[in-house]
Structure 1
Amino acid sequence: MCIIYIIIIENLNGKIVKKKRPVNLDLTTIKFPITAISSILHRLSGIIIFFTIGFFFWLLNISLASPEGFSQAELIMKNISLKILLWFILTILLYHSISGIRFMMIDFGYIPETLKVGIRSSKIVFIITILLSIVVGVLLW
């Protein structure tokens, strides 16, 4: 589904120019580059971390309150579905941290802002995240 809009723009010379631009409203037909996927996932992971940090603080509060509370937190974490959720959240946290380091290195000029380097660094972030996610999964079980 492509709609063409007529945009009236005044150019630098003061003349009014009509431009016909196609507008694609079906986002499923767009193939995002890996750098865009990395950026979008970094933002989504930040949102997920923001909403799940309360669970970790609650669990920490229970475990530090008393020896019985520690036993209760330990019992909670023995549930297989919560272990999977914890692994998922820790994977998201790892991705967000590694991707954040990548973005800071780009911002500080340690990594050049070229397409080739951006694609390579995005792939490296995904590979490191997968490897560390496997390590976290092994440590949890």
Structure 2
Amino acid sequence: MSEAVRVAPKKERPEFRNIHVTELMNYRQPLAAIVSILHRISGVLIFALLPFVLYLLQESLRSEISFAHYQGFVTYPLVKLFILALVWAIMHHMFAGVRHLVMDLHVGLDKDSARKSSAAVLALSLTLTVLVALKLFGVF
């Protein structure tokens, strides 16, 4: 009756800690997560640049004189960069949106095909944006 009671060794519990904003760059996101984050950013960019797009549309349709003013306005490099940012946002948002719609149909949910589809979204949106940039800046 006087046997010593054996105490089982305690297991080390994993330590969960809060992540600070400065530590976010230490974590590597999968490609699908990056595409999803960029999808949100492109949606915000489209919404934020909507007044600029409507202004350009209004100026191009008002009259011949305002269209000539519009053509002069679009030649500024900063305006071209805004247009290029909008083109990237539209391209990326469209391709990532189609990817998300296909995934809603339960197609391509496994890890390998999700990685391939996210790489395709990035490749398509960046390739088409580069082609528009070459046309916009007068390379061809």
Give the TM-score, by structure 1 length.
0.80
Q: What is the Cα deviation at residue 21 of structure 1?
A: 4.1
**Counterpart residue identity of residue 68, structure 2:** S
Structure 1 partner of 2:32:
35
Q: 2:128 aligns with which of 126, 129, 132?
A: 132
Deviation at 1:20, TM superposition (A): 5.5
CA distance in structure 1 between the aligned counterparts of 2:119 and 2:47, rounded to whole angstroms: 25
- Residue 22 of structure 1 is matched in structure 2 by 16
Q: Distance in 2 between matches of 1:113 and 1:69?
A: 50
Q: 1:91 aligns with which of 88, 93, 96?
A: 88
The unaligned stretches of length 5 or more in structure 1 are: 1-18
**Paired residue for 1:15?**
none
1:104 aligns with: 101
The match for 2:119 is: 123
Identity %: 26
Cross-structure match for 1:46: 43
Instruction: For residue 118 of structure 1, report the CA deviation from its aligned partner.
Output: 0.6
Runs of 4+ in 1 over 3 A off after TM superposition: none
Q: Which has the larger radius of gyration?
A: 2
Q: Tell me how many residue pairs correspond in the alignment.
A: 122
* Counterpart position of 2:62: 65
Number of the residue aligned with 2:73: 76
- Say what the alpha-carbon RMSD is for the aligned residues: 1.5
Structure 2 unmatched runs, 5+: 1-12
Is the partner of 2:17 in helix, strand or coil? strand
**Which protein is richer in strand relative to its size?**
1
TM-score by length of 2: 0.80
Give 1:69 deviation, angstroms: 0.9
Q: Which residue of 2 aligns with 1:9?
A: none
